Amino acid sequence: MLSKRFFALPEADKLAIQMVNSPHFRGYNRAGLEHTRGKPDWREQIDIGPERQTARRDPHAPARSRLQGPNQWPERLPELRPVVLAYQEAVTQLAIKVLRAFAAALDQPEDVFEPIYTPEAHQLLKIIRYPGRSSVDRQGVGAHKDSGFVTILLQDDQAGLQVEVGDSWIDAPPIEGTFVVNVGEILELASNGYLKATPHRVLSPPEGGERTSIAFFLGARLDATVPVLDLPPDLAAQAGGLTQEPLNPLFHEVGRNYLKGRLRSHPDVAQRHHADLLDPAPPSCTSGAAPTEAAA
């Protein structure tokens, strides 16, 4: 399996493509460098997006344009690039089919979302390894919601994924030959809360074990604005509005929503490449300041 071969590379080969070298938030991260709700996640991973040219750095361009650019690939594993890009294209088509099914369930035309994801959907693929740990803190990845339309997750046979239902967390155990599908924030925005973005987290495996997963996130174009759908009366009556979280405000401007999340999740990249987008921090504070609302 190529993902396991990637994680088995010498550390120097992985660090040669560290995400902190990419202003586009692409590349490899060691465990503890990505943060959820301000706490480090215990997972190593490589983030891969669509292969597009870097947008011209223009002081007058929207900050969201900084997310566009090339990926970083390991020189010692050249076969990773074609396989991952082919998988990304295949799973994009799967995610679009799922999205069309959600549109039909909302009594909308199946292509209702096409205007905001064509011709260039925002794609992100993460290949993730969760090392086992004996610590009391078992945060593989902390509780969060995904920002796109839907997430298509492929798990190995190691449990760890949990989904919040009401006031409880329930396991989403691996089932061979299946994907896990999470609703993202775009669908919550578009349905005025009839569909809720899925809160989820991953617990680290026990010491001596490991967990590998491949998460694909289908999103809208960076320059798009999420519309509020005109739901039929019976569905509209059940729409409870957006989930309001002070630490995670939802924006209908797609690029603003994405950039907000990346800046907060990757404080090292934010400080190196996008310090001008961060709120000024008091002298006693360390890196990881939240982005300003004008960031996108």
Provide the pLDDT for residue 294. Answer: 39
Query: Which tens digits make up the pLDDT trace of 4-42?
Result: 999 999 999 999 999 999 999 999 999 999 999 999 999
Q: What domains can you pick out in the chain, each with its CATH number?
A: 2-277 (2.60.120.330)
Instruction: For the chain, give the DSSP string.
Output: -HHHHHHTS-HHHHHTTBGGG-TT--EEE-TTSSEETTEE---EEEEE----PPPP--TTS-GGGGG-------TT-TTHHHHHHHHHHHHHHHHHHHHHHHHHHTTS-TTTTHHHH-SS-EEEEEEEEEE---SS--EEEEEE--SSSEEEEEE-S---EEEEETTEEEE----TT--EEEE-HHHHHHTTTSS----EEEEPPPTT-EEEEEEEEEE--TT-BPPPP---HHHHTT---PPP-TTS---SBHHHHHHHHHHHH-HHHHHHH-GGGBPPPPTT--S-PPBPTT--
Residues of the chain short of pLDDT 70, as ranges, are 280-296
Model pTM? 0.92
